[in-house]
Structure 1
């Protein structure tokens, strides 16, 4: 018994250290996202540019996902149980916005394809009127896997289950093995469609890059690098969709290994893709980076000056 207690105590301390590091990372990414969102809303010219609007959608989606997934992480870490109906609401947000980001990234890749390969039609296809429709379509497509996932649960779950207190996790909604198959089929379908779109856009932009004139070659290759970064970010987001299945399998093998895998998955496939969005458009994009320096950092500087004078 003494050996088990010391082992458990050492494991808890290790988890606490990881939990603190995760909270620091989450707070850092949320602060960065807040600055970028603030910059977007400060400069009205960004409201009419498709890639910046989609970028803002990604930032908001990432922020919602970080807040809700971190809430679930903390609840699971401290073994806090909540009523199932409340867990459903939190999990719905997590599943929805875990899909919004990859779908938006795919839309951003298509926007780069239109801008580079069909420049004469870019203004028409990416007009301000279409932006609203595009955002609605993104959320509509992203909600379909969530609807498929919860429809089977609502059909099978008894009314008494909603009032029970449990540790909130996506695994608790899997009441039968065939629900896994439905979720897996939907994810694989989305994965296949997104990969085809990314690959198609990459090949087409590559063709344009090879034949572009000297003046256009620089912007074309920059667009190609953006598509590559989107592809890598999308890959991490899509792997994230498989996390519940991986963790369920590992949990049955070894609980200690499950704790390590869960921490790695959360950092690698939840936090890492969220730090790439600010890099792709927040720092690499000259217009947005200059606006970030002008509005965000200048406002902070002015606020500090005013506090010192008072």
Structure 2
């Protein structure tokens, strides 16, 4: 925790060496792609609620849940980034609320990927029972369990924060900018964060990999639908890639901590901005791009909304 605070202090001090022009430039380079990705994700969310086919199909409902969590996570991350770039310090309660909400959505994404992989496994290995197993009700129960488990993680983090002696502080005003690292107060919170992250992603990796192996085994049977099996296998591979990108966002803070030891302050801030876009922001938009382009049902509707109904306007003209 002491080095994490030192890293945050170095980052804050490095911003003091940046001129206004450079800070505005970096803020623009990160805010612009984030706004574009938020627009794409928002359009995708609207698309998934625009037709009854999407609202009453389990895999589209799960996709909506995944996109919703990623979009909220991206919006919160950009909000915290802008606050830090403007050198605005928050109080511990406000920062804690924002970071806990971010933690809630961070856990939802990998768990949803696991459920989506299991849905594809059932569709390929048990096609005749798929409609009976993967129902709207069961999908709703799965989503509820995901959010309940994520909420339990947040509750545990809050209880660990309550053990910190805040009364010894001169003020609840934070000296550093608000981030997830700054809210790991005490060694117990830090240890819990590391253990929970490892367990979560090892479990998610095992679940998705097991589904992928099951699909490969099913593909070798003579009765299997080769086209459907091949498509499901590619989808599960994409889920593994998505999980890996989600994992990359969890190593974002430890990576910055390691770089802070070897880089100068101003170089550290510049690299941090690049990593923020490619490691933290870009993976949050990948899901909408993957499914929006690959899915034959979503693609025409998504392109229609992304183009702001340009096609309809040209037709009337």
TM over 0.5: yes
The answer on 1:200 being equivalent to 2:210 is yes
| Corresponding position of 2:119 | 111
Change (3 A) 1:281 1:82: same
Q: Aligned equivalents of 2:110 and 2:222: distance in 1?
A: 29
Instruction: Specify the SS of the correspondent of 2:129.
Output: helix
Q: Where do 1:147-296 residues align within 5 Å? A: 147-158=155-166, 163-166=172-175, 167-211=177-221, 216-254=225-263, 255-293=265-303
How many residue pairs are counted as aligned between the two chains?
300
Using structure 2 for the length normalisation, give the TM-score: 0.85
Change (3 A) 1:16 1:123: same
Distance 1:292 1:171, change over 3 A: closer
Give the aligned partner of residue 49 of structure 1.
57
**Alpha-carbon deviations, 1:248-270, whole Å to 9, x = none?**
34445543353244324322232
Could you tell me how far 1:189 is from its partner in structure 2?
0.8
3-state SS of 2:163 partner: helix
Deviation at 1:37, TM superposition (A): 1.4
Q: Following the alignment from structure 2 to structure 1, what is the Cα–Cα distance between the partners of residues 154 and 310?
A: 40
1:205-251 CA-to-partner distances (Å, cap 9, x unmatched) read 1112233558x212211111111111011111022123233333444
Alignment partner for residue 78 of structure 1, among 86, 96, 99?
86
Contact 1:36 1:278 in 2 (8 A): yes
Asked which structure has the greater RCO (Cα within 8 Å, sep 6+), the reply is: 2
Higher helix share: 1
Secondary structure, aligned partner of 2:128: helix
Distance of 2:219 and 2:282 partners within structure 1: 29
- CA 1:9–1:242 in structure 2 vs 1: closer, same or farther (change >3 Å)? closer
C-alpha RMSD of the superposition: 2.7
State the TM-score, normalized to the length of structure 1: 0.86
| 2:129 equivalent to 1:127 | no
Q: 1:104-157: per-residue Cα shift (whole Å, max 9, x none)?
A: 111111111111112122112210111221111111222333333332112214
The CA distance in 1 between the partners of 2:191 and 2:259, in whole Å, is 18
Q: For structure 1, which segment, 182-191 or 147-156, has the greater mean C-alpha deviation from structure 2 after superposition?
A: 147-156
Q: Mind listing any 5+ residue stretches in structure 2 that lack a counterpart?
A: 1-13
**CA apart distance, 1:291:** 2.9
Q: State the secondary structure of the residue aligned to 2:87.
A: coil
Is the 1:103–1:142 contact (alpha carbons within 8 Å) kept by the matching residues of 2?
no
Compared with structure 1, are the counterparts of its residues 298 and 64 closer, same or farther at alpha carbon in structure 2 (3 Å cutoff)?
Answer: closer
- Greater than 6 Å deviation, 4+ residue runs: 303-306
**Aligned partner of residue 25 in structure 1, secondary structure:** helix
Runs of at least 5 residues in structure 1 that lack an aligned partner in the other structure: none
Q: Is the 8 A contact 1:109 1:230 kept in 2?
A: yes
Q: Distance in 2 between matches of 1:131 and 1:109?
A: 13
CA contact under 8 A between 1:43 and 1:291: conserved in structure 2? no
